[in-house]
Structure 1
Amino acid sequence: MLMMDQVLPNASTLTLTVSHTHDPAAEKARLDALSAAELERQRAFDERLTFAIWDRATLNANPATDLIVCLETKQTIGFRYEDINRPVVIHHGSKDSRVPVDNVRWLGKIMRKTEVRVLEGEQHGLMAQAKVMGAVLEEISQEWSDWTSVVKQASVSDLRSLARGRKASYA
């Protein structure tokens, strides 16, 4: 990584005009230009930082090898997919070249209460897609909001029924 990518420049390196002027309009224009330059500098820095973090996180990474190691291990990983009994939503890209859609559909069949959503045109790595993750987080937020409103209205016996998977009655 270059030194310029490691050190934030300060405002003195972004001076765009002569700084000793007595004209208020010129001073305002200078400050506006400096603000625009500062915003652009921050945006560029954020972009470089994001790519640097991603490069570091994926350095020497090989997802296929990692998956093979997990699948071929003789020790359990703590659970089996068919033992999961909570509702699960799996999002998968239709153009994923690493994990075939049929494999994900199979996984959805062996897991109870699982919904597989195939996203048209998306590839592998949906967690890096802001649009996709935004929608997922919105859905989780709505589920949480719905749950908290149910909990606020429910009695203790209703909550026990919910925990056991039965429908509760609300007044």
Structure 2
Amino acid sequence: MADEDNIQVPETKEKKGPNLIMILIITVVVTLIVAAGTSFLIIKLLSPNVQENADVSNSSSLSTQIISTSELIREGARYPVMLKGGKDVAVIDALNMKVGSNEARDLLASNKIEVLEAVRMIFLNKTRSEVSNSQGIELIKKQIKDSVNEIIGFTGERENLGVVKVIMVILTVSSTE
């Protein structure tokens, strides 16, 4: 019996060795399979979102891209415009427009007289106080942008290709009396 007990003990030790190694191998293989599957799913789920975000950022940067600047009133020209009531005059020192296409720049240059007339009409509807504060000036810039885009035909979806920004320097507002 003693010999049989000695024989059985080494057999169980030999079985535990390969079982422990097999358990480690199976654990490593299962971990690798789970990691690979998780990585695959994450890449598949996130890649459409990354592409959509890239497309959105590209389209938004293209839609607001400024191609060139068109100068209507050169800096230092001191262009006077009459204000509402005819008693006050605003002196525009510079008026530039940033446009989104070369076509808009060319149309702006060819319609310069109409654009300057539109600017004068906008100022004829403004009072001294409207021209003297920052909110009034921002409103004037927006009105100039909208009216110029209408004159050169860049409205609706094409508005981003027309005048994008108006840069205006009002030197002074003075009385005519």
Same fold (TM over 0.5): no
Task: Choose between structure 1 and 2: higher strand proportion.
Answer: 2
TM-score with structure 1 setting the length: 0.27
Greater per-residue helix proportion: 2
Structure of higher RCO (CA pairs closer than 8 Å, 6+ residues apart)? 2
- Which structure has the greater CA radius of gyration? 2
